A and B are shown apart, each in its own frame.
Chain A
Amino acid sequence: MRLERRASTPRWLQVAVPLGSVAIAFVVSAVVLLVTGHNPLHTYRRLFEAAFTDPGALSSTLTAATPLCFTGLAAAVAFRVGLFNIGAEGQLYMGAIAAAGVALALAGQGAVVQIAAMIIAGAVAGAAWALIPGFLRAFASTNEIITSLMLNYVAALFLNYLIFDTLSPWRDTSSPGAEQFPQGRTLPDAAAWPTLSLGTDLLIPFGLLVAVVLAGGVTVLYRRTRFGFEAAVIGDSPRAARYAGMRTRRNILLVMGLSGLLAGVGGASQDGDFRHLLDPRGLAQPGYGYTGIVVAALARYNPFAVVVVAFLIGGLSNAGYALQGADFPAGLVGVMQGIILFCALGGEVLVRYRVRVGRSAPVEAAHAT
Chain B
Amino acid sequence: MNNSLLVLIASSAIVYGTPLLYAALGELLAERSGVLNLGVEGMMLVGAAMGFFVVQRLDGPGPLALGAAIAVAAVAGAAIASIHAFLVITLRASQIVSGLAITIFAGAAGLSSYLANDLDLAQSPARHVFGPILPHSLQSLPVAGPLLFAQTALVYASWALTAAVAYYLARTRPGLELRAVGESPGAADAVGINVTAYRYVHTLVGGALAGVGGACFSLSITPQWLDGLTGGAGWIAIALVIFAFWRPDLCLVGAYVFGAFSALPFILQARGVTVAPELFQALPYLMTVVVLVAVSTGAVRRHLGAPAALGRPYVREER
Contact = CB atoms under 8 A, between A and B. Distances in A.
A86 B101 CA distance: 12
Given A165-B278, A329-B114, A345-B93, A149 B235 contact: yes
Given A146-B289, A331-B117, 5 more contacts: A145-B96, A150-B285, A154-B282, A331-B114, A364-B316
16 contacts: A136-B296, A142-B293, A143-B306, A146-B288, A149-B235, A150-B285, A150-B288, A151-B285, A153-B282, A161-B278, A290-B103, A294-B101, A329-B114, A331-B227, A338-B111, A349-B91
Given A149-B235, A345-B87, A334 B92 contact: no
Interface of B: 36, 38, 83, 87, 91-94, 96-98, 100-118, 227, 232, 235, 238-239, 242, 276-279, 281-282, 285-286, 288-289, 292-293, 296-297, 306, 311, 316-318
A345 B105 CA distance: 14
A37 to B, nearest CB: 8
A160 B109 contact: no
Contacts of A342: 83, 87, 98, 101, 105
A147 interface: yes
Given A143-B306, A161-B276, A332 B101 contact: no
Contacts of A37: 118
Interface of A: 3-5, 36-37, 79, 84, 86, 136, 140-143, 145-147, 149-151, 153-154, 157-158, 160-161, 165-166, 287, 290-291, 293-294, 297, 320, 329-335, 337-339, 341-342, 345-346, 348-349, 352-353, 361, 363-364, 367
Best-buried of B36, B92, B102 by chain A (most CB within 10 Å): B92
B93 A290 contact: no
A290 to B, nearest CB: 6
A37 B281 CA distance: 41
A329 B115 CA distance: 9
B110 A335 contact: yes
Nearest to B288: A150
Best-buried of A86, A330, A346 by chain B (most CB within 10 Å): A330
Contacts of A157: 278, 281-282
Given A140-B296, A142-B293, A154 B97 contact: no
Nearest to A353: B92
Contacts of A339: 105
B148 to A, nearest CB: 32
A294 B104 contact: yes
Contacts of A335: 105, 110-111, 114
Contacts of A146: 238-239, 242, 288-289, 292
Contacts of B285: 150-151, 153-154
